[in-house]
Amino acid sequence: MNRRRAILAAAAATLATAAFAPAAHAWTEFSFSSQSGTTALVEVDATAAHNRLEVVRGATLLAQSAGDTVSISDDLHAGDVANLYSGNALVATGTYDGLPKPTNVCIGHTAFSAARAQNATIFDAGAYRPVAGSVEWVAATWTADADAVVTLRRPLVAGDTVYVTTSVTDGTAEVRSSRGEPAIRCWYDPPTDGTPPPPPPPPPTQATIPPSELIPTNAQMLAMVKGSLSVSGSSLKSRTTRRLARSSSVALPFAFPEPGRVDLQLVAKHKVIGTGTKTSAINGKAIITVTLTSAGRKLLKRSKKLKVTVNGIFAASRTGAELSRASLSVTMKG
């Protein structure tokens, strides 16, 4: 009898503890992504119910969406704020601090600098470039300084883009900021004896080029499409399968090499999981909305790691232009 009473008392205590246990806190993750020459993206992943994401700069509304992603044609500025709403109620907010900022990204160098906020930590860093229809990712290590030094496993080459992603948590919200910068041929190597660097050389005089020579060859057009597709793949790789499975579409950046139309297709496990099309009357950066299939979302939901191939077909608007086809594969994590 005493044993039975002890069991009942323990059960009652457990129920009482459960009854007064606090509910799980809502969690929100804001992601700010930008890269020189491409459209900036702001994304959110939240456990609380929400139906509107907006980005403001002071009193100016930059963009808003009923989904979890908004694109901004202008580059992100320090102080830009992402607000998440449920109806008219503010659910969560995240502020972009203008960092990280990669600098000294020079071809031939194995390291570059990356400034971060004092309360932020570097979550990921490295470099990538399109190679033979895929993406070559270059791993890196970095120091813990606020002005970190990121060291790559190989020297930067033409076509490389470096990236740095930081993370900072404030209460129940996490803000991830990612910045990409293309490697360039620097006009000087940093001096080692402490002397100031020489002045930059004067800009070269541009010769007049006949209009016929401005039309890219098929090989040049294919190279440009591959470069644009590598940015799309990098953006896709930065997402998690878990986040993507909760969305009906995904916004991917693409730089139009000239006016025309692009068709994107996402393939995984030999199945098409998403398609998107966009036509542009001008060259330059744009956002392609890729609609996910129901089967694709189910595949993403149950995959902790998934290889996704991004197929792209670009058709220039000018008469006589041939189709440019390219593809690359990225591995998404859950």
How would you write the pLDDT of the chain (334 residues) with one tens digit per residue? 444 444 334 444 333 333 333 334 578 889 898 887 777 889 888 888 999 999 999 999 999 999 888 888 878 999 999 999 999 999 999 999 999 999 999 999 999 999 999 999 998 888 888 776 667 888 889 998 889 999 999 999 988 999 998 988 877 888 989 898 999 988 655 554 555 555 666 665 555 545 545 678 888 888 888 888 888 888 898 888 988 898 888 888 888 888 899 999 999 999 999 999 998 888 777 888 899 999 999 999 999 999 999 999 999 988 888 899 999 899 998 8
Q: Is-contact 18 10, C-beta < 8 A? A: no
**What are the boundaries of each domain within the chain?**
28-95, 101-164, 216-333
- Strands of the sheet containing 324-333, edge to edge, are 249-256, 284-292, 271-280, 260-268, 305-316, 324-333
Please tell me the distance from the alpha carbon of residue 85 to that of residue 277, in angstroms, as a whole number.
29
DSSP state letter for 203: P
Q: Check residue 9 and give its pLDDT.
A: 43
- pTM surpassing 0.85? no
What is the enclosing helix (H) or strand (E) of 14? helix 2-19
The SS3 assignment for 38 reads coil
Q: Check residue 220 and give its pLDDT.
A: 85
Q: Check residue 228 and give its pLDDT.
A: 85
Question: Which residue in this structure is represented by tokens 């659910």?
Answer: 91
Cβ neighbours, 10 Å, residue 88:
6
Q: Is-contact 73 39, C-beta < 8 A? A: yes
Query: What fold is seen in the domain 216-333?
Result: Immunoglobulin-like (2.60.40)
- 164 pairs with which residues across the strands? 125, 179
Label residue 323 exposed, middle or buried (CB < 10 Å: 0-12, 13-18, 19+).
Answer: middle
Please tell me the distance from the alpha carbon of residue 324 to that of residue 52, in angstroms, as a whole number.
37
Q: Is-contact 53 68, C-beta < 8 A? A: yes
DSSP state letter for 214: G
Q: Check residue 262 and give its pLDDT.
A: 94
Q: Check residue 155 and give its pLDDT.
A: 93
Q: Check residue 2 and give its pLDDT.
A: 43
Q: Check residue 71 and give its pLDDT.
A: 86
Q: Check residue 191 and give its pLDDT.
A: 52
Give every CB contact of residue 275 below 8 A, 6+ residues apart in sequence: 263, 264, 265, 266, 290, 291
Task: At 182, give phi and psi (nearest 5°).
Answer: -75, 145
- Bond before 216 cis per omega within 30 degrees: no
Q: Check residue 15 and give its pLDDT.
A: 35
